[in-house]
Structure 1
Amino acid sequence: MTKTGASALAIEDVTKTGASVLANPAPLGLMGFGATTVLLNLHNANIISATSLGMIFAMGIFYGGLAQVIAGILEFRKGNTFGMTAFTSYGMFWIALVALLQFPNMGWAASVDSASMGFFLGVWGLFTAFMFVATLKKNLALQIVFGSLTVLFFLLAIADFTGSAMIKTIAGYEGILCGLSAIYLACAEIMNDAYGKKVLPV
């Protein structure tokens, strides 16, 4: 059985003749995660203003949210437990985050207090930490994505627990780097597959 293409998060779906029949959904999920993470953390770092929140919420629902969930479902079809769990979980994270912030404005729920938001982000930090441990069996680029994301969640949780604007700003800059690392990995997977060789190292 021949393995084709370069995929950090997916194994190839192969027919009896050895021909690949499914595309790699990982770049879609990585781009949805990376682009939305960069935009949110541009706001957290005070590089873009609060008027950008509508744009960030839209990205969170559709590209960071739905696109990642779709990528996770496709990873399920390819038999990749890690990719399915990661993309589906973080896709639903973005949708849940938008809901937490928008439900109060719609009269559907009370506003979430800072301590509760800290616990919400902390739980996601724990999830990401054990996912990071799993990446130690994978490539360096993926380790950087999950390692920096673990740090990001805990920084944001600490910022909410303490009310520290400085920590939130630091988290914003760290989050920009995290998002860019995911975008890089998405580009690497697309380029390496398109050219059939290692164009961008992972």
Structure 2
Amino acid sequence: MVENQNKITLKDTTANPAPLGLLGFGLTTVLLNFHNAGFYPMSSMILSMGFAYGGIAQIIASVMEYKKGNTFGMVAFGSYGLFWWSLVFLLMVPSMTFFSTAAKSPVQAADPASLAAYFFMWGIFTLGMFVGTLKKGRGLQVVFITLAVLFFLLTAGEITGIKTITLIAGYEGIFTGLSAVYVGLAEVINEEYGRRVLPV
């Protein structure tokens, strides 16, 4: 008796979520760091972008990466999406009467020491994620190493109180955000044309 064996190949036809996550991260990072570089004050524009495009878009990308079995993408987009949410709440909670009423006393704004710890831990996390990019494209490596530098510059700015360091961090952060925007757009364009139009 001869058995016929058929080989079945499954093809993943779902969209690539990485450009959404990279663009959500990149555009929001650029806008925040225009503030750090002194171009304009902190405003609802930055907070809204942080909550919506920086936060929600990256969390959506994280869920999509999970479904694709991409642990790195899931952790990266999920973590930085929630970073943006935490930053928005960190800035907004002290002025929200709900939290003050619930706590029976005003919620104190984060002081320089706590902000330094916050940025430092994100810097350590990003440095660890950078190691994971060493097996990926050069574009992602640039995004993660410059992001780690940005977090450590922000840490130094909070610890020392030297405004020049935060100003430098702003310009470095603009570069970080633009590098993520470039990689995100490059992936979209390269997929649309079916070839490498822009190197990543």
| TM-score (ref. length: structure 2) | 0.90
Write the letter of the residue equivalent to 2:19: P
The whole-number CA distance in structure 2 between the counterparts of 1:143 and 1:69 is: 21
Q: Could you report, residue by residue, the CA deviation over 1:145-166 in whole angstroms, capped at 9, with x for unpaired residues?
A: 0010000000001101111100
Equivalent residue of 1:99, what SS? helix
Q: Could you report, residue by residue, the CA deviation over 1:41-66 in whole angstroms, capped at 9, with x for unpaired residues?
A: 0000012x21x521000000000001
Write the letter of the residue equivalent to 1:61: F
Counterpart in 2 of 1:3?
none
Write the letter of the residue equivalent to 2:51: I
Counterpart in 1 of 2:23?
31
Counterpart in 1 of 2:102?
none
Counterpart in 2 of 1:110?
108
Counterpart in 2 of 1:146?
144
Counterpart in 1 of 2:64?
74
Match of residue 14, structure 2, among 15, 22, 38: 22
Write the letter of the residue equivalent to 1:159: G
The whole-number CA distance in structure 1 between the counterparts of 2:12 and 2:68 is: 11
Q: CA deviation at 1:179?
A: 0.1
Counterpart in 1 of 2:121?
123
Mean CA deviation greater in 123-132 or 100-109: 100-109
Q: CA deviation at 1:19?
A: 3.3
Equivalent residue of 1:92, what SS? helix
Equivalent residue of 1:199, what SS? coil
Counterpart in 2 of 1:176?
174
Counterpart in 1 of 2:186?
188
- Would you say how many aligned residue pairs link Structure 1 and Structure 2? 185
Q: Give structure 1 stretches of 5+ with no counterpart.
A: 1-15
Q: CA deviation at 1:79?
A: 0.2
Q: CA deviation at 1:17?
A: 4.0
The whole-number CA distance in structure 1 between the counterparts of 2:49 and 2:134 is: 30
The whole-number CA distance in structure 2 between the counterparts of 1:189 and 1:32 is: 14
The whole-number CA distance in structure 2 between the counterparts of 1:171 and 1:24 is: 31
Q: Could you report, residue by residue, the CA deviation over 1:105-129 in whole angstroms, capped at 9, with x for unpaired residues?
A: 1032211111100000000000000
Q: Give structure 2 stretches of 5+ with no counterpart.
A: 1-7, 100-106
Matched, 1:93 2:83: yes
Q: CA deviation at 1:18?
A: 4.1
Q: CA deviation at 1:20?
A: 3.0
Matched, 1:40 2:32: yes
Over the matched positions of the two proteins, sequence identity in percent amounts to 55
Equivalent residue of 2:11, what SS? coil
Larger radius of gyration: 2
Alignment RMSD (CA, Å) = 0.9
Q: CA deviation at 1:76?
A: 0.3
